[in-house]
């Protein structure tokens, strides 16, 4: 496999974009990435999306987008892995460039969610769970995460307030990210008094949906070596792993084995350890997922992920900075696009473009994208050179 670099990045603000259609949102991010890369064409397009058949009545987003953005006759395909669709699309694009099949690829994660009612969205998101054995029983996606969180609290003795630092950190960081969905600081008191969604998950444990798209341009790394002005960012590690789709089928529902496995392979490929990771964009769809992700990736012992927040280690100045641009919690979670937002944000950190939430001297960054309640997990490690 030849090495692959990220030449350009682009994103839209995550919002209720009633003024932009599905194709238009994707176009904004795609053109921004191509402009940032200084290219006006690519050999192939990979689209990450979860919900467009259900929300917009539109399948075949590959051809749909290559048509819209003028990539005539180019290869184009959609990749779907629930909320990990963005990371999965990046990996598909990576493989095409790494194999030598194409010399450049555009990867776009896109989701338009706010054209439907909350009830429709809840039903659409439940397609990430097991239709036959979970959804059929009436459980929603947040319900599954609530079961996991409650069990975690019971097993390890944490109380709800102990999760507050994850959300507080995310909201504080999002204040400095113009693309973030939410721009409001929160404190522990607000966190505790927030409206209940599915006990013990309340509104401030949960990430907001939204419309958004994020994109990168991939090229062989040797083509970027001589570019002046900013560091070359390469994809040093990439891995995908799966666990059972139904939570009840897992040997241990409190351990994200697919996160462990994909992180392990990505560390090996990038030749790094958790200690080398300067910034970690993790998948905080719910606060419990932050804790489980940190544990599975080797940043905390089992049951102790929460402590990293309590010990103030997760801020941009901490030992394990997470969600430095707001995370899913405050930047927002347009599901199929989220994995690409994470990657774009890691690139911003490695380029030193993050202002008040810049992690000083960040050289190695990790993005972890989770589909379902831990069923498909993609881990990517980027390096600035």
Residues lying near a copy of itself in the complex (CB under 8 A): 1, 21, 23, 44, 50-51, 53-54, 56-64, 66-67, 71-82, 84, 88, 91-92, 95-96, 98-101, 124, 126-128, 130-132, 135, 239-246, 249, 257-258, 261, 371-372, 375-376
Taking the C-alpha atoms of residue 28 and residue 11, their distance in angstroms, rounded to an integer, is: 7
Taking the C-alpha atoms of residue 89 and residue 84, their distance in angstroms, rounded to an integer, is: 9
CB of 111 to a copy of itself, least distance (A): 12
- 229 exposure class (CB count in 10 Å sphere: 0-12, 13-18, 19+): exposed
CB of 93 to a copy of itself, least distance (A): 10
The single-letter DSSP state of residue 375 is T
CB of 100 to a copy of itself, least distance (A): 5
Assess contact for 367 and 281: CB atoms under 8 A. Answer: yes
Assess contact for 33 and 215: CB atoms under 8 A. Answer: yes
Q: Of 17, 171, 283, 333, which residue is the catalytic one?
A: 333
- Tokens 């989770």, residue? 370
The residue among 78 and 232 lying less far from a copy of itself, judged by its C-beta, is: 78
CB of 289 to a copy of itself, least distance (A): 16
The residue among 145 and 357 lying less far from a copy of itself, judged by its C-beta, is: 145
CB of 6 to a copy of itself, least distance (A): 17
The residue among 24 and 311 lying less far from a copy of itself, judged by its C-beta, is: 24
For every residue of 152-183, which 3-state class applies, written as one string?
HHHHHCCCHHHHHHHHHHHHHHHCCCCCCCCC
End-to-end CA distance of the chain: give it in Å, rounded. 19
212-220/4-11 β-pairing: antiparallel
Q: Of 83, 297, 323, 354, which residue is the catalytic one?
A: 83
Assess contact for 237 and 269: CB atoms under 8 A. Answer: yes
Buried/exposed 268-302: b ≥16 CB within 10 Å, e otherwise: ebbebeeeebbbbbbbbbbbbbbbbbbbbbbbbee
Q: What are phi and psi of 231, to 5 degrees?
A: -65, 150
CB of 71 to a copy of itself, least distance (A): 8
The residues near 249 (Cβ < 8 Å, ≥ 6 apart) are none
Q: What are phi and psi of 213, to 5 degrees?
A: -150, 145
Taking the C-alpha atoms of residue 93 and residue 88, their distance in angstroms, rounded to an integer, is: 9
C-alpha 258 chain-centroid distance: 15
The residue among 102 and 384 lying less far from a copy of itself, judged by its C-beta, is: 102
The residue among 189 and 268 lying less far from a copy of itself, judged by its C-beta, is: 268
The residue among 236 and 246 lying less far from a copy of itself, judged by its C-beta, is: 246
Q: What are phi and psi of 86, to 5 degrees?
A: -65, -50
The residue among 239 and 382 lying less far from a copy of itself, judged by its C-beta, is: 239
Number of Cβ atoms within 10 Å of the Cβ of 345: 29
CB of 181 to a copy of itself, least distance (A): 23
Token digits for 365? Answer: 């960054």
CB of 76 to a copy of itself, least distance (A): 5
Active site annotation includes 333: yes
The residue among 144 and 362 lying less far from a copy of itself, judged by its C-beta, is: 144
Which residues belong to the active site?
83, 333
């Amino acid at each position: 496999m030849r090495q692959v670099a990220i030449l350009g990045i682009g994103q839209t603000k995550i919002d209720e974009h009633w003024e932009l259609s599905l194709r238009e949102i994707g176009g904004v991010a795609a053109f921004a990435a191509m402009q940032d890369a200084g290219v006006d064409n690519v050999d192939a397009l990979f689209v990450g999306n979860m919900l467009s058949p259900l929300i917009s009545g539109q399948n075949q987003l590959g051809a749909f987008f290559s048509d819209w953005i003028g990539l005539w006759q180019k290869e184009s395909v959609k990749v779907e892995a629930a909320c990990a669709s963005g990371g999965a699309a990046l990996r598909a694009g990576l493989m095409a460039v790494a194999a030598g099949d194409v010399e450049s690829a555009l990867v776009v994660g896109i989701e338009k969610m706010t054209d439907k009612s909350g009830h429709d969205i809840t039903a659409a998101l439940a397609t990430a769970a097991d239709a036959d054995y979970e959804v059929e029983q009436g459980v929603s996606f947040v319900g599954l995460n609530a079961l996991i969180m409650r069990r975690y609290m019971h097993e390890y003795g944490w109380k709800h307030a102990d999760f507050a630092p994850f959300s507080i950190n995310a909201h504080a960081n999002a204040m400095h990210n113009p693309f973030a969905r939410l721009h409001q600081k929160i404190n522990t008191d607000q966190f505790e008094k927030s409206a209940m969604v599915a006990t013990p998950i309340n509104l401030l444990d949960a990430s907001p949906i939204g419309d958004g798209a994020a994109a990168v341009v991939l090229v062989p790394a040797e083509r970027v070596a001589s570019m002046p002005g900013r560091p070359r960012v390469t994809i040093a590690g990439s891995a995908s792993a799966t666990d059972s789709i139904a939570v009840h089928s897992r040997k241990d529902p409190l351990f994200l084995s697919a996160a462990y496995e994909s992180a392990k392979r990505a560390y090996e490929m990038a030749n790094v350890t958790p200690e080398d990771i300067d910034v970690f964009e993790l998948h905080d769809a719910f606060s419990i997922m932050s804790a489980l992700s940190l544990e599975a990736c080797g940043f905390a012992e089992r049951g102790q992920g929460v402590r990293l927040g309590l010990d103030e280690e997760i801020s941009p100045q901490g030992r394990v900075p997470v969600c430095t641009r707001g995370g899913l919690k405050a930047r927002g979670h347009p599901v199929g696009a989220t994995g690409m937002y994470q990657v774009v944000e890691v690139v911003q950190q490695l380029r030193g473009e993050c202002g008040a939430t810049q992690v000083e001297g960040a050289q190695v960054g990790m993005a972890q994208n989770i589909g379902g309640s831990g069923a498909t997990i993609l881990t990517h490690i980027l390096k600035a050179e």
